[in-house]
Amino acid sequence: MLRRIITITLLAPLALAMFVYPRLSSTARVFQARQQRRATARPAPSGKNAPDYSKFSHRSRSHQQACASCHKTPTANWRVARSFPDIADYPGHESCVGCHRQQFFNGARPTICTICHTGASPRDQLRFAFGQPKAARQANKLLDLRQFIIEFPHDKHQDVIARLAPSQKSMRGELAFVPASFNLKGSMTDEKGPQFNNCAVCHETNRRQPDAPKGGWPGAFVPVPETFKTAPTSHASCFNCHWKSQPPTADDCAGCHKLAAAAFVPQSWPTRLSARFIHEGGGPNKDHIAECTTCHINITKASTLRGLMPDVPIGSCAACHNNDKQGNTYKQITTIEMELDQSEKTHSCHYCHTPDVGRKEAPRSHCLAVGWPLTKCKNTQ
């Protein structure tokens, strides 16, 4: 009996503590998460359960009619706003006032006006930039909140646009791809030859200084603009083929724009493992001119943007950056072997990587790519 009492006395408080602690901590986390969700998703309404009319959401059930019921294709202002027919402006007042008459005529400064207009006043005609904020001359909203994700099949586009381009060698009847990264007036191309479509139709060399990520650039390394390629932010590279006839056509917004689960601010630049790689780099002669799909090996099979990764294996780099200098055109090149060697002393690979990545052990793939013993690459990830 005594043993039972002792056992219960010892175990009961222990069990109680173990029961209460995780629940308390998880409850606190859940509570915190809820609070955060409330704070971000729904700003304080003026009254109890009152909708916030300063924000427009396509997710609202009553806003999920046919796109053309509000958006006109093209808008009347396209000649002023763009160099091509486009949806370049917000829908007219008639699209809103049918349901929101009450909010429209609510005092001198109706909140609902601030969805599109820079000022909430019937006399203020100025609007925030629509659809192409970075290129427009109008005022931009503080937060680049997006409600739609884009559906884009690289595989189909690769099929029809990525074509051969005549090079200087074309005089002798040979053909070569136009690398997306470089100037068509460059030495490899025949200036008078036909211009072939390729990745550069959508992805140009970036010329804008990239915005620093939250928390700053790793290792305080600020990449030059040419590090990155751009991605389309307007209809310019879509409508030239998809304006009409070729589906999805310009009036079929849902053909490309899919409503996201929640509004989001898009990431300005892709997260890189090799932050120091510059697309426009490769020494003074800018020798990083390989065809895009030579390194981005999975692009030609990508049928969606969801989960799409750049997928550049180290083998792509090893094709040039290796110690086989006899057969290598680039004698002065820094090689993977050189970096692996020096990292044994410095514990850092800094030619391609910033410290957040470079201070880790080299992965096996790096040794495999240059035929080095795996003992030099201890990272099994």
**Which residues form the interface with another protein (CB under 8 A)?**
1, 3-4, 7-8, 11-12, 14-15, 18-19, 22-23, 25-26, 29-30, 33, 83-85, 155, 158-165, 175-177, 194-197, 239-241, 243-246, 291, 293-294, 297-298, 300-301, 309, 311, 313-316, 318-319, 364-365, 368-369, 371, 380-381
**Toward another protein, which CB reaches closer, 96 or 367?**
367
The two tokens of residue 69 are 């019921």
**Toward another protein, which CB reaches closer, 41 or 175?**
175
**Toward another protein, which CB reaches closer, 139 or 188?**
188
| Beta strand pairing call for 257-264 and 175-177 | unpaired
CB of 47 to another protein, least distance (A): 32
CB of 240 to another protein, least distance (A): 5
CB of 361 to another protein, least distance (A): 15
Q: How far apart are CA 167 and CA 46, in angstroms?
A: 65
**Toward another protein, which CB reaches closer, 88 or 112?**
88
CB-count exposure of residue 338 (10 Å: 0-12, 13-18, 19+): middle
Give the residue from 149, 155, 130, 148 showing the smallest Cα distance to 140: 130
CB of 19 to another protein, least distance (A): 5
**Toward another protein, which CB reaches closer, 278 or 297?**
297
Q: How far apart are CA 189 and CA 170, in angstroms?
A: 9
Q: How far apart are CA 10 and CA 262, in angstroms?
A: 50
| Beta strand pairing call for 257-264 and 146-150 | antiparallel
For the chain, first and last CA: distance in Å?
56
Q: How far apart are CA 243 and CA 52, in angstroms?
A: 35
CB of 267 to another protein, least distance (A): 18
Place of tokens 């820079």: 118
The two tokens of residue 173 are 């009847």
CB of 194 to another protein, least distance (A): 5
**Toward another protein, which CB reaches closer, 113 or 180?**
180
Q: How far apart are CA 381 and CA 378, in angstroms?
A: 9
